[in-house]
Amino acid sequence: MTPNTTPSVDETTPDADEKQSVTPKQALPNGFQVQIDLRATVVPGGRHIVGGSPLRVLSLSAAATKMIDPDGRICVSSPATASLARTLLDAGVAHPRPMFGPTESDVTVVIPVRDNQTGIDRLVSALHGVRVIVVDDGSQVPVTADGAEVIRTEISAGPAAARNLGAARVQTDFVAFLDSDVTPGSDWLPKLLGHFSDEQVALVAPRITAMRPDGGPMARYEALHSSLDMGRREGPVAPGTRIGYVPSAAMIMRRSAFDGFDESLRVAEDVDLCWRLRSDGWVIRYDPVALAEHDHRVALRAGLDRRRYYGTGAALLTDRHQTLASPMVMNTPMMIAMVAALTRSRWGFGLMVAMIGFIAHRLHQRIAHIPDAPRVAARLTAQSVGFGFLQMASALCRHYWPLSILLALVSRRFRSVLLAVALAEGVVEWMRSEMLNPDAPVRLGVTRFVAIKRLDDLAYGTGLWQGAVTGRNLGALRPVIGRWGSHQLPSSAAGRRPPE
């Protein structure tokens, strides 16, 4: 290939640097296609693309621009198109559209279960044409499963150990993990297996929705705001991004990449697995085109106790992954702006405006080389500040609520701020989950949603502090304040979905 036709991509990453992959990149096969993210900003002329999580600015050569169809799609047909497609995928500004992949005969489903015969009957009957291994993790009454291999342990060792035990019996190239309270759609495997035509992909997960969305307030809340539901948008999975992990309730893995769940973890073992895979250079994809239904806990007390239990996992993740599990990740200018806003003072307002101006200036400097840079910088600044406020509000109401309550007791000014923040953050989440959600399966109403959301946060925060105190590891409570990471997209630890 001559230099004149060699595509090139210059990349600017306004956020903190990511860890580099330690495994060599595999070439994408011919026929593989990728689609530019519809939410990415393609600057007129197509030479610059702004998008991804963390946010990036990509500048393409003329040769690279010509490889992209008018509809934003690239079909791999040469080393050059494969390189461009990989770059766009790694940057998060494009999504895979594979045309082929493994078949269902290449997959074995492993189901860990304990005392849920009803769930096993429902799930196994929904799986056709695929080998199934059920691991009975010490049920009081032994589980049976017609048409499936059943492995039983007399003493429960936890779901991580049960999954590992089942995976050790798998002979196929791919293993799917499904919990006994999950039922996948009939076409979930064909929709997801194509991703594995990319040899860099280790794990793919579907969207998990409510099996019975109608019911009482907690059932409706779970249908709208479940911690298992990663949302309507597809994307790569990585710590510190919009999709920080995927739950082990439903996932498919490349067996050669699977080195086991950490059996010492009874909670957050799926987060740990995802982060280890990413650290080793593997790619994880979340694709909501495939669906699986989950039988949520619909009793308020049981649901909140589960949230508390999830919170205890943060300290365990901190032991293994240090700052990746931090409850809040923010750059210094944004942190100053957020704290200044909480003071409700004139000087605080002035300082907040000054910091936002500084952020806008730094952003503009990073993208000054692209056309229409002022407008793009203004939009990105607004997004950044909005996410910063939401992250701070979530931290005050969820992760640090014991400190917030103590401060509210001694400060009337902060008490009014906290009440306003708690209400505003709850309303914003309600708007996201229900009012602006075209796929909302039920309606709960703003009052009940906000009330349950605040209880949800109190429960998770209680578990977070419980885990930190009992584990003697306050790192799970320590925020990460960086010099510059201009776009504060919610991370898996700081966003609305707690690690599980």
Per-residue pLDDT of the chain (500 residues; tens, 9 = 90+): 333 344 555 655 444 333 334 456 788 999 999 999 998 888 877 888 988 877 788 889 999 999 999 999 999 999 999 999 999 999 999 999 999 999 999 999 999 999 999 999 999 999 988 999 999 999 999 999 999 999 999 999 999 999 999 999 999 999 999 999 999 999 999 999 999 999 999 999 999 999 998 889 999 999 999 999 999 999 999 998 889 999 999 999 999 999 999 999 999 999 999 999 999 999 999 999 999 999 998 899 999 999 999 999 999 999 999 889 899 888 899 999 999 999 889 999 999 999 999 999 998 988 888 888 898 889 889 988 999 999 999 999 999 999 999 999 999 999 999 999 999 999 999 999 999 988 888 999 999 999 999 999 999 999 999 999 998 888 899 999 876 543 333 333 333 343 33
Is residue 311 a contact partner of residue 359, using CB atoms and an 8 Å limit? no
Q: pTM value?
A: 0.90
Same domain, 115 and 252: yes
Is residue 306 within a helix (H) or strand (E), and if so which, with residue range?
Answer: helix 300-311
Which residues are CB-contacts of 90 (< 8 A; sequence separation ≥ 6)? none
Domain end among 64, 97, 130:
97
Q: What is the CATH number of the domain that holds 210?
A: 3.90.550.10
Q: Are strands 56-60 and 48-51 parallel, antiparallel or unpaired?
A: antiparallel
| 240 belongs to a structural domain | yes
Whose structure tokens read 């806003």?
341
Same domain, 144 and 259: yes
| 316 belongs to a structural domain | no
Q: How many domains is the chain partitioned into structurally?
A: 3
Task: Give the residue from 465, 332, 492 showing the smallest Cα distance to 399.
Answer: 465
Name the phi and psi angles at 274, rounded to 5: -60, -45
pLDDT score, position 11: 58
Same domain, 452 and 368: yes
Same domain, 14 and 74: yes
Same domain, 151 and 236: yes
Same domain, 446 and 469: yes
Same domain, 122 and 250: yes
State the first-to-last Cα distance of the chain, in angstroms, to the nearest integer: 48
| 11 belongs to a structural domain | yes
Domain end among 47, 80, 97:
97
Same domain, 397 and 447: yes
Same domain, 115 and 244: yes
Torsion, Cα 465 467 471 475, to 10 degrees, reads: -60
Which DSSP state fits 209?
A: E
Same domain, 92 and 108: no
Is residue 384 a contact partner of residue 334, using CB atoms and an 8 Å limit? yes
d(CA 277, CA 237): 10
Sign of CA dihedral 64, 66, 69, 71: positive
Domain that holds residue 334: 329-482
Instruction: Provide the token pair at 384.
Output: 């950044």
| 392 belongs to a structural domain | yes
Domain end among 97, 125, 149:
97
Same domain, 352 and 381: yes
Same domain, 61 and 118: no
Is residue 54 a contact partner of residue 18, using CB atoms and an 8 Å limit? yes
Which residues are CB-contacts of 431 (< 8 A; sequence separation ≥ 6)? none
Distance of CA 467 to CAs 177, 358, 472, Å?
A: 27, 38, 8
